[in-house]
Amino acid sequence: MQKISAIRGMNDMLPSQSAAWLHLERALSDLTRAYGYEAIRTPIVESTALFQRGIGEVTDIVEKEMYSFEDRLNGEQLTLRPEGTAAIVRAVIEHNLIYEGPKRLWYTGPMFRHERPQRGRYRQFHQFGIEALGFAGPDIDAEIILMGQRLWDELGLKGVRLEINSLGQADERAAHRSALVSYFTQYQSQLDEDSRRRLQSNPLRILDSKNPAMQSLIEGAPKLLEFLGKESLQHFETLQSLLKANNIPFKINPRLVRGLDYYNLSVFEWITDALGAQGTIAGGGRYDPLIERMGGKPAPACGWAMGMERVIELMGISESLPETEPVCDVYVLHQGGETLTQALIAAESLRSAGVDVILHCPPDGQSSSFKSQMKKADASGAQLALIIGPDELARQEGQLKDLRGTGEQRAIPLAGLLSAVIDALVDR
């Protein structure tokens, strides 16, 4: 029978990779707690209209990359979420979460984009994101950037640089848009197919093109910073001063526009040269228009998201991956029969006290020699081995062996098992 494999671009996370994921998840938990952000979870499947309205219909994600399908029960168009912000805003509006004041939120989970799999880009990928809703000032922009920098420092990432820009407000972008259309129309023959299509619908997205043949043309295009008014400039300058005051290095990139339509004012990305073409590990910015666009009362908002697979890969390149942790504290050996019964009782009593235990369970269901069991105990990474054989059971004892230190083995009464194990673990 032909075996069934995982879908291309949708990867299994194997036990050998779990230490890195757990390390990253713990760091994210510590980070969000340190800044007072609360967790929010939304469904993996949402209405297709949510992303068309939230992300923008003239974007690569909506035009090319979404996994969309029709619900067979009612004909509704549904989509596997390609990003997190639109769904968070939908939930905030639906449940009136900012009725009583601003909210600091974080989320994590799988996202889906139908694109060609390559290094750092997958059809199912995992994203972590933070969203600060109801805050209008550049102080919150600075805070969320500081959160990112703190995370990179905690994870020991090397070679990560911050680029920032301002997209201004709608009227400023409209003036810039007219200038872009005039400029690119002069060079229409040099535009690729995507850029020609976007020339009238969304010319700002041309600046985000990765086509090498167009880079010199893009470099000569009018810059949005030249069209910013007083308030937008003040917002951007205050953000810069706050970052400088906290010793956060950054570069202003006037071509940074991000790939989604809902951004305004501050946008930013953290970039590395270590991951090839997929150099952006995280990015975000301010999206004040989105809540109103999604049907809620106007409210400011900003946030950022990161690709967890890319961050873990960069941890490996930066040589900051954690060592594989032992899967248990104690490995319990036995000879079956009544010794198995006592071994299981002992294992459960230790677990009830917070000790991590693996009970030996032979694959074939038959008892195996203590020698072969001891090899498995050593391979488990356990600190201690607890041996309960027929002789030990007759004396109501167990043999406690130090697997990582002296190798000492001593008899202990089963009645005093817990205190003996805890004392041995504390001594390490």
334 and 413 both lie in a single domain: yes
Q: What are the distances in angstroms from CA 73 to CA 42, 50, 87, 190?
A: 22, 19, 23, 47
Number of Cβ within 10 Å of residue 355's Cβ equals 18
64 and 113 both lie in a single domain: yes
- Residue 85 in this model has a pLDDT that exceeds 90: yes
- Residue 284 in this model has a pLDDT that exceeds 90: yes
Q: What is the pLDDT of residue 283?
A: 94
Annotated ligand binding at 35? The verdict is no
Residue 179: CB partners within 8 Å, gap ≥ 6? Answer: 222, 227
232 and 98 both lie in a single domain: yes
93 and 162 both lie in a single domain: yes
Helix 230-245 vs helix 138-155: crossing angle, to nearest 10: 30
Report which secondary-structure segment, H or E, holds 166.
Answer: strand 161-166
Average pLDDT of the residues in 315-338: 87
**For the chain, what is the domain count?**
2
- State phi, psi for 294 to the nearest 5 degrees: -90, 5
1-21 as b/e: b if 16+ CB within 10 A: eeeeeeeebeeeeeeeeeebe
Annotated ligand binding at 131? The verdict is yes
Considering the domain boundaries, does residue 173 fall inside one? no
**Nearest Cα to 205, choosing from 280, 129, 256?**
256
Q: What is the pLDDT of residue 129?
A: 97
Q: What is the pLDDT of residue 370?
A: 85
Q: What are the distances in angstroms from CA 83 to CA 54, 285, 300?
A: 10, 14, 19
Q: What is the pLDDT of residue 27?
A: 96
143 and 42 both lie in a single domain: yes
**Mean pLDDT score of the chain, rounded to an integer?**
89
Domain end (from 271, 295, 317): 317
Domain end (from 280, 295, 317): 317
Q: What is the pLDDT of residue 58?
A: 65
Q: In sequence order, what DSSP letters do the residues of 186-225 get, joined into one string?
A: HTGGGS-HHHHHHHHH-GGGGGG---GGGHHHHHTSPPGG
Report which secondary-structure segment, H or E, holds 371.
Answer: helix 370-379
Domain end (from 256, 286, 317): 317
- Residue 331 in this model has a pLDDT that exceeds 80: yes
352 and 259 both lie in a single domain: no
271 and 146 both lie in a single domain: yes
Considering the domain boundaries, does residue 277 fall inside one? yes
Q: Is 46 helix (H, G, I), strand (E, B) or coil?
A: strand
Residue identified by tokens 């939930």 is: 91
Q: What are the distances in angstroms from CA 49 to CA 78, 183, 269, 291?
A: 8, 33, 27, 15
29 and 143 both lie in a single domain: yes
Average pLDDT of the residues in 378-393: 91
More confident residue, 235 or 426: 235
Considering the domain boundaries, does residue 183 fall inside one? no
Annotated ligand binding at 127? The verdict is yes
Tens digits of residue pLDDT in 89-135: 999 999 999 988 999 999 999 999 988 877 778 899 999 999 999 99
Annotated ligand binding at 72? The verdict is no
**Strand pairing partners for 282?**
270, 306
Considering the domain boundaries, does residue 351 fall inside one? yes
Considering the domain boundaries, does residue 26 fall inside one? yes
Q: Is 262 exposed, middle or buried (0-12, 13-18, 19+ CB in 10 A)?
A: buried
Q: Is 286 helix (H, G, I), strand (E, B) or coil?
A: strand
Considering the domain boundaries, does residue 145 fall inside one? yes
Average pLDDT of the residues in 314-340: 88
Tens digits of residue pLDDT in 353-370: 999 999 998 887 677 788
Considering the domain boundaries, does residue 267 fall inside one? yes
- State phi, psi for 427 to the nearest 5 degrees: -70, -10
- Residue 300 in this model has a pLDDT that exceeds 80: yes
Answer yes or no: are the C-beta atoms of 125 and 291 closer than 8 Å.
Answer: no
Annotated ligand binding at 83? The verdict is yes
Q: CA 24 from chain center: how many Å?
A: 8
Q: How far apart are CA 20 and CA 320, in angstroms?
A: 9
Q: What are the distances in angstroms from CA 394 to CA 38, 338, 390, 397, 421?
A: 54, 10, 6, 8, 21
Q: What is the pLDDT of residue 155?
A: 95
Considering the domain boundaries, does residue 219 fall inside one? no
381 and 244 both lie in a single domain: no
More confident residue, 325 or 157: 157
Residue 72's CATH number: 3.30.930.10
Tens digits of residue pLDDT in 229-268: 999 999 999 999 999 999 999 999 988 877 666 789 999 9
Residue 357's CATH number: 3.40.50.800
* Single-letter code of the amino acid located at 329: D
Distance from the first to the final alpha carbon of the chain: 51
Annotated ligand binding at 258? The verdict is yes
70 and 99 both lie in a single domain: yes
Annotated ligand binding at 263? The verdict is yes
Q: What is the pLDDT of residue 428?
A: 61
Average pLDDT of the residues in 220-224: 87
Q: How far apart are CA 229 and CA 169, in angstroms?
A: 9
259 and 407 both lie in a single domain: no
Q: What is the domain range of residue 416? A: 330-420
Tens digits of residue pLDDT in 127-177: 999 999 999 999 999 999 999 999 999 999 999 999 999 999 888 888 888
**Nearest Cα to 86, choosing from 127, 114, 135?**
127
Q: Is 275 exposed, middle or buried (0-12, 13-18, 19+ CB in 10 A)?
A: buried
59 and 133 both lie in a single domain: yes
